[in-house]
Amino acid sequence: MKIYINNFNIDILSSIMKSIVDHFIGSESYIQIYSEDGLYQIENSSIKKQIILDKEIQIFKEYYEDFTLIADPSHYTLQKVNKIPCNHLVSNVKRCFFTPDKKSPLKLVIEGITLEEISCSKLSNIYNMEPYNIYLEVGEDINLNDELVKREIIVFLSLLN
């Protein structure tokens, strides 16, 4: 499940990434393809179409201070295909993952367009992208009002303040 922060200022994502570097646990990159026929992604030379399973969102007003959260349990499955439509747009996407604790089921995800590869260091994994999206990611069976879950979410929300 993705949890979005309502009315979050995307323009400050780059500076936020610098302040949470100690929570960085990894990243992944893939090619995103947009077409009239749908979304596709290429990973490890494999083309897959995203089949979206849309579900109803839930809103948590003033979850912490002025932060309102939007929980979206929608997700997608990947269906292997052999071709993509002729008319399409391509984007190199990088997702960086942050967590308050290595054992936590909660991840802060920052997505961006991949810039030129620099090196394999922890900092280059974070800084070689232009961020455009941020959300928290948890399993669907997680109760956002559970005290322990709420504490972990607040850790990240307080860093974003």
Cα-Cα end-to-end distance for the chain: 23
Q: What is the mean pLDDT of residues 87-100?
A: 91
Q: Domain extents for the chain?
A: 2-160
At residue 116, the pLDDT reads 60
Contact 76, 52 (CB under 8 A): yes
Confidence band for 123, pLDDT divided at 50, 70 and 90:
very low
Asked if the model's pLDDT at residue 119 lies above 90, the reply is: no
DSSP secondary structure code for residue 101 in this structure: S
At residue 118, the pLDDT reads 46
At residue 114, the pLDDT reads 82
Helix (H, G, I), strand (E, B) or coil at 65: coil
Q: What is the pTM of this model?
A: 0.85
pLDDT in tens, 125-134: 556 788 899 9
Long-range contacts of 36-39 (CB under 8 A, 24+ apart): 36/85, 36/87, 37/85, 39/76
User: What is the token pair recorded at 32?
Assistant: 């995103």
User: What is the token pair recorded at 150?
Assistant: 């709420």
- CATH top-level class for 2-160? mainly beta
B/e letters for 136-159, b = 16+ CB within 10 Å, e = fewer, are bbbeeeeebeeeebbebbebbbee
Asked if the model's pLDDT at residue 122 lies above 80, the reply is: no
